[in-house]
Amino acid sequence: MTRRILVILGALAMLMGLVWIGQGSGYFPYPASSFMIDQSPWIAYGAALALIGVGLIWFARRTPR
């Protein structure tokens, strides 16, 4: 059960990180009033969050059942 939760949290963190990267770079300008659009720090924040998500998934798959 814990593995499943970690995988879900990791996938959500990866997805959220990719959205932040898209908004920070201007490729995903939604919603139009977002303060994150075309703001380069959000690219780094998104990359860090996506890497944390990958790490969570990796850790969950390496733990014994």
Q: What is the pLDDT of residues 1-53, one digit of tens each?
A: 889 999 999 999 999 999 999 999 999 888 888 899 999 999 999 999 999 99
Predicted confidence at residue 29, as pLDDT, reads 85
How would residue 61 be classed by pLDDT, with cut points 50, 70 and 90?
very high
Rounded to an integer, what distance in angstroms lies between the CA atom of residue 53 and that of residue 49? 6
Predicted confidence at residue 50, as pLDDT, reads 98
Predicted confidence at residue 64, as pLDDT, reads 80
Length of the chain: 65
Query: Is the CA virtual torsion 45, 60, 12, 22 positive or negative?
Result: positive
Which of 2, 5, 46, 1 is CA-nearest to residue 24? 46
Q: Would you give the end-to-end CA distance of the chain in angstroms? A: 9
